Amino acid sequence: MEAILTRHLDPAKPLGLEAYRAAGGYRSLAAAFDLKPEAIIRTVEAANLRGRGGAGFSCGLKWRFRGLDAPRPRYLVCNLDESEPGTFKDRHLLYGGPHQILEAVIVAAYALQVERAIIFIRGEYAHGAARLTLALAEAKAAGLVGANIDGSGFDLKIEIHLSAGRYICGEETALLNALEGRRPNPRHKPPRPSVKGLWGQPTTTNNVETLVNVPHILLNGADWFCGLGVNGGCGPKLYGVSGKVHQPGLFERPMGTTARELIFNHGGGLAEGRTLLGFLPGGASTAFLLPEHLDMPMDFDPVARAGSRLGTGGIIVLDDASCPVAIALNLMRFFARESCGFCTPCRDGLPYLEQILAAIHAGEGRAEDLPLLEELCDKIAPQSFCAFAPGAIMPLTSSLHCFREHYEQHIATGRCPFDAANEGGA
């Protein structure tokens, strides 16, 4: 397929305003102003654009649910807090194409008729945020952001907020607390943020990759967008392939591309003599898929039917030299460390799981540890306050299911079969 979202990305030297415009940038504004908000929302819904931040919820539906006459002021938040292991698509969008992001935010803000949009960027992307700041200044100077954009009568303020770390800030309601200057614990729903979000006002949050699809949908139509996908998917998808592959990278492919194609055609396949153990289809908070799933379309519904989640579409590949126990431990350590500490199951449950996994990996596991892990997973995931802990549990539960014999071997032999001599023990 021809590149759409990645066509003008250049991380070495992103396009400035003039070059971006010359390449066709910001044309979608006129299209948006012509269509008007209600029609834009209908089009986006018809295009079946699903959230690229991990949840896969229909973007158009989310926008429609907020309601055209939600009380003012209203806010749009562009979530660029990408911190999910295995995920780097938003970094590419930010560093390589700041104006593409701004164009998307403007048309989305117009569709939602919000007065202020805030782009929330993780602190580790500070240099990218600096690029976006420059691009925003250019856009303001050119009248593309501010009062009466391009004579449309639409006023919009865009602000860039650079976060100060922590994975939980990417959770929608924790992000709102972070913006308000509060501790970034998640909030209870109801009320939903679309009703009471930032400072108690209706707030819509979308992942940056979701948003950058919108200008193209407006310019080319819903049917076109859907036609870009394969195997029932709609639109392009920025897939990441990383882990035990030759050529880790970002690949813009039709939504619904198979894992096989992504891992072997684009990711360069595995190292010499290695075989595929399994892969996480969309970042750390998903369930492992196995070689038998290689021909599965990497799209939300097929992956969900197989018991996993497409999530961010960042595929992490494990080969037969990877210790699944070590991976599970690494992931659990990550989640335990990033827990905000609000609710008991996550705060105290994840370190407990980490402790058991560490014992197993170090050869100090016991037979009863495996049913214990499963029992704890069952208690932790459903009872937590937000989706963080369920996301932490998912790879562990599936690892125990898919790679149980590895755990049993660690326990039986009292050591990790993949010792330190073997590529960092994983």
Partner 1 sequence: MITLQELERHLAQLAPDHPERRAAVVPAMQALQAERGHLDDAAVAEVAQLTGQSTTEVEELATFYSLIYRRPVGRHVLQICDSACCSMRGADRLLASAEKTSDVSMGEVTSDGTLSVLPSICLGLCDRAPAALIDGEALGPLDEAALEALLRRLRGKG
Partner 2 sequence: MGMIRIDGRDIPFEEGDNVLKAALAAGVEIPHFCYHDALGSLGACRLCAVEITPEEPDPLNPNKRPRVMMACLEPAREGLELSLSAAAARGAREGVIELLMTNHPHDCPVCDEGGECHLQDMTVACGPPYRRYRGRKRTFPNQYLGPLVHHEMNRCITCYRCTRFYRDYALGDDFGAMRLRNEVYFGRFQEGPLESPFAGNLVEVCPTGVFTDALFRQHFTRGWELETAPSICPHCSVGCNTLPGARDGTLRRVRNRHHPELNRWFLCDRGRYGHQYSEHVARPLLPHIAGETVSYHKAVAAAAEQIKVAGAGLGGLGSAREDLEGNALLRALMTRLNGGFAAFSDPALEAATAGAVSQHHKAPSLVEMEQADAALIVGDLTAHAPMMDLALRQAYRQGAPLAVLHNTPTPLARLAATALTVSPREMGAHLSRLSELVADPATGSGNEAALIAIAACLTAARQPIVAGVVETLSALEIAALAQLTTVLGARARLTYALPGANAYGAALLAPTGSSTALLEAVETGRIQTLIVAGNDPLGDTRLGSRWLAARQRLDTLIVLDCIATATAEAADILLPVAAWTERSGSFVNYEGRAQGFAPVFQRPEPLPTITEVITDLAQVLDLALPDVAAVLSDVFPGYQAPAPGAHGAAIPVFPLPARIDTVSHPDRGLDHGPWQAALAAWYGDDPLASFAPALMELTPAVVARIAPVAARTKGIEDETQVMLRGPAGTLTLPVQLDDGVAVDTVALTRAMLVQLGIGHGDPIDMEIIS
- Please choose which of partner 1, partner 2, none residue 425 contacts, taking the beta carbon within 5 to 8 angstroms, the exact cut-off set by kind: partner 1
Among 48, 100, 163, 210, binds partner 1 (CB under 8 A): 163
- 164 near partner 1, rule: CB under 8 A: yes
**Quick one: 247 or 344, whose CB is closer to partner 2?**
344
Q: In what order do the strands lie in the sheet with 75-80?
A: 157-162, 116-121, 75-80, 203-207
Q: In what order do the strands lie in the sheet with 314-319?
A: 249-254, 236-243, 314-319, 276-280
Contact 337, 388 (CB under 8 A): no
- 8 near partner 2, rule: CB under 8 A: no
- Please choose which of partner 2, partner 1, none residue 336 contacts, taking the beta carbon within 5 to 8 angstroms, the exact cut-off set by kind: partner 2
**Quick one: 185 or 203, whose CB is closer to partner 2?**
185
The overall longest dimension of the chain from CA atoms, in Å, is: 73
* String marking each residue 133-172 x if it binds partner 2 according to CB under 8 A: ---------------------------------x------
Read off the amino acid at residue 275. Answer: T
**Quick one: 136 or 343, whose CB is closer to partner 2?**
343
- 36 near partner 1, rule: CB under 8 A: no
- By rule CB under 8 A, what count of residues binds partner 1? 57
- 167 near partner 1, rule: CB under 8 A: yes
Among 138, 209, 261, 338, binds partner 2 (CB under 8 A): 338
- Please choose which of partner 1, partner 2, none residue 360 contacts, taking the beta carbon within 5 to 8 angstroms, the exact cut-off set by kind: none
Task: List Cβ neighbours of 244 (8 Å cut-off, separation of 6 or more).
Answer: 270, 271, 274, 317, 318, 319, 321, 322
Stretch that binds partner 1, among 173-181, 299-307, 351-359, 366-374 (CB under 8 A): 173-181
**Quick one: 130 or 306, whose CB is closer to partner 2?**
306
b/e for 285-303, b at 16 or more Cβ within 10 A?
bbbbbeeebbebbbbbebb
Stretch that binds partner 2, among 197-205, 236-244, 350-358, 398-406 (CB under 8 A): 350-358
User: Which residues of 295-398 form beta strands (DSSP E)?
Assistant: 314-319
- 7 near partner 2, rule: CB under 8 A: no
Contact 379, 343 (CB under 8 A): no
**Quick one: 296 or 346, whose CB is closer to partner 2?**
346
Among 9, 41, 101, 129, binds partner 1 (CB under 8 A): 129
CA 2 vs CA 140, 223, 255, 302, 377: distances in Å: 31, 17, 13, 24, 43
Among 131, 166, 266, 309, binds partner 1 (CB under 8 A): 166
Other CB atoms within a 10 A radius of the CB of residue 271 amount to: 12
**Quick one: 81 or 138, whose CB is closer to partner 1?**
81
**Quick one: 204 or 312, whose CB is closer to partner 1?**
312
- 354 near partner 1, rule: CB under 8 A: no
- Please choose which of partner 2, partner 1, none residue 405 contacts, taking the beta carbon within 5 to 8 angstroms, the exact cut-off set by kind: none
Torsions phi, psi for 305 (to 5 deg): -65, -30
Chain length of the chain: 426
Q: 177, 175, 192: which is closest to 67 by C-alpha?
A: 192
Among 73, 143, 165, 291, binds partner 1 (CB under 8 A): 165
- 352 near partner 2, rule: CB under 8 A: yes
Helical ranges in 149-245 per DSSP H: 172-179, 208-220, 222-227
Q: 402, 224, 229, 396: which is closest to 326 by C-alpha?
A: 396
Stretch that binds partner 2, among 48-56, 58-66, 232-240, 351-359 (CB under 8 A): 351-359
Contact 210, 59 (CB under 8 A): yes
CA gap 394, 396 in Å, rounded: 5
**Quick one: 36 or 183, whose CB is closer to partner 2?**
183
**Quick one: 215 or 314, whose CB is closer to partner 1?**
314
b/e for 249-264, b at 16 or more Cβ within 10 A?
ebbbbbbbbbbbbbbb
- 84 near partner 1, rule: CB under 8 A: yes
> Virtual CA dihedral for 23, 24, 26, 29, nearest 10 degrees?
180
CA gap 409, 326 in Å, rounded: 13
**Quick one: 139 or 336, whose CB is closer to partner 1?**
336
The residues binding partner 1 (CB under 8 A) are 82-88, 90-91, 122-127, 129-130, 161-167, 178-184, 199, 240-244, 248-250, 284, 314, 316, 318, 322, 326-327, 330-331, 334, 337-338, 340, 423-426
